[in-house]
Amino acid sequence: MKYLDEFRDPTAARTLVDHIKKRATRTWTIMEVCGGQTHSIIRNGIDQLLDGAVEFIHGPGCPVCVTPLEMIDRALEIAAREDVIFCSFGDMLRVPGSHHDLFGVRARGGDVRIVYSPLDATRVAADNPDKEVVFFGVGFETTAPANAMAVVHAQRLGLTNFSMLVSHVLVPPAMTAILSSPTNRVEGFLAAGHVCTVMGTGEYGPLVEEFGVPIVVTGFEPLDLLEGVRQVVDLLEAGTPELRNAYPRAVTAAGNTVAQQTLADVFVVTDRQWRGIGMIPKSGWTLSPRYAHFDAELKFGVGHLRVSESAECRSGEVLQGLLKPNECPAFGKTCTPRTPLGATMVSSEGACAAYYQFRRLEAAAHA
Ligand code: SF4
């Protein structure tokens, strides 16, 4: 398949693996901040191929995983209301709140619907003027433009029964928090290609300057990842931290300026709680005053809800690269995809789910 097969070529992959292994004079610790990249690394065994040259640690790059427990509880409270149709992407429905999940609300008679686009939710609102329709707007800079467009569309349609529960988070502040932590182990970053497709690369240069770590914008196929790692390792070995773009077929320095203008119109930067990590200043978006009437948190008065995370789930450490999923005592025992204790085991992009799905049960037995 064009644009896929050529990035999965085993001969080219072997050449890159050999180069990285020859070039590395020690094991370098590299973090990817994207759940899609985590799954691709584990599914393709890239971490095993590069064993001894690179240790991958998996950052907080899965949007479902970093959505805080209290935000899930806010969603559950809104979704349980009789006058509400609650719309969400499917991956949020199994994320456990304090007591149950959105599937549980649906089982109790709540009108919880899976949609494939936030615009579907505006359609549901237009078709159901006697109901309040709420869309769960979760994710990084990648999903935010479509959510912003849904808000603009709802405004144009004059919908007064549509609102959005916004839980958007931003990648660069999370990288800053990790690099600033006294427990930081990251020596180089693979930046998420799809985030940079929207936002460009301008936010990463200052991080390279401030922390002296190389950052390479990287795609998702095996050769994309290996090329990103090759560039990070070359920069680490040369002692020249730089910002590089190893995903030029999708990413430009400026990014998608039209999307950025819409984002700047609809959202403003806010402090955000990250599940298992805590508050990161200026690390998310909320609706701007101009669109505050679409804010479900304000409309339903659920912003006050605060809960503490489960002590058993150690996803906070997993999301900061301090613990491998199969080093968590609950992994594969009390916590499995069928009985998840944390979002990182539920989400299709979660690191715990990746380790469970792609042969890391055995490693758990030895962890
Ligand atoms: S294995 Fe389960 S309990 Fe452990 S960190 Fe992952 S999601 Fe949490």
Q: Whose CA is closest to 161, among 137, 136, 130?
A: 130
Question: Starting from the edge strand earliest in sequence, which strands make up the sheet with 267-274, in order?
Answer: 111-114, 84-88, 132-139, 162-169, 278-287, 267-274
Whether 108 is in a domain gets the answer yes
- pLDDT beyond 70 at 109: yes
Whether 269 is in a domain gets the answer yes
Give tens-digit pLDDT for 300-354. 999 777 777 777 889 888 988 889 999 999 999 999 988 888 889 888 788 999 9
Write the CATH number for 289. Answer: 3.40.50.11740
Whether 121 is in a domain gets the answer yes
Tell me the average pLDDT of the chain: 93
Q: For a substitution probing ligand 1, which of 326, 328, 361 has the most ligand atoms within 8 Å of its CB?
A: 328
Question: Would you state the pLDDT for residue 359?
Answer: 65
Q: Where are the beta strands (DSSP E) in the chain?
A: 28-32, 54-58, 84-88, 111-114, 132-139, 162-169, 188-192, 215-218, 243-245, 267-274, 278-287
Please work out whether the CB of residue 335 comes within 6 Å of at least one atom of ligand 1.
Answer: yes
Please work out whether the CB of residue 222 comes within 6 Å of at least one atom of ligand 1.
Answer: no
The DSSP result for 46-83, as a single string, is HHHHTTTTEEEEE-S--HHHHS-HHHHHHHHHHHTSTT
Determine which of 36-40, 238-242, 250-254 has the lowest per-residue pLDDT on average: 36-40
- The three-class DSSP label of residue 21 is helix
Whether 267 is in a domain gets the answer yes
Q: Which residue has the higher pLDDT, 3 or 181?
A: 181
Atom of ligand 1 nearest to the CA of 329: 4
- pLDDT beyond 60 at 360: yes
Structurally, the chain folds into a number of domains equal to 1
Whether 82 is in a domain gets the answer yes
Q: Could you tell me what percent of the chain has a pLDDT over 70?
A: 97
Give tens-digit pLDDT for 112-156. 999 999 999 999 999 999 999 999 999 999 999 999 999 999 999
Whether 17 is in a domain gets the answer no
**pLDDT grade, residue 2 (50/70/90)?**
confident
Please work out whether the CB of residue 342 comes within 6 Å of at least one atom of ligand 1.
Answer: yes
Q: For a substitution probing ligand 1, which of 62, 312, 315, 322 has the most ligand atoms within 8 Å of its CB?
A: 315
What is the residue with the minimal CA distance to atom 3 of ligand 1? 313
Question: Would you state the pLDDT for residue 47?
Answer: 94
Whether 326 is in a domain gets the answer no
Question: Would you state the pLDDT for residue 340?
Answer: 86
Question: Would you state the pLDDT for residue 365?
Answer: 43
Whether 354 is in a domain gets the answer no
Q: What range does the domain containing 282 cover?
A: 69-170+259-300
Q: Span 42-60, mean pLDDT? A: 94
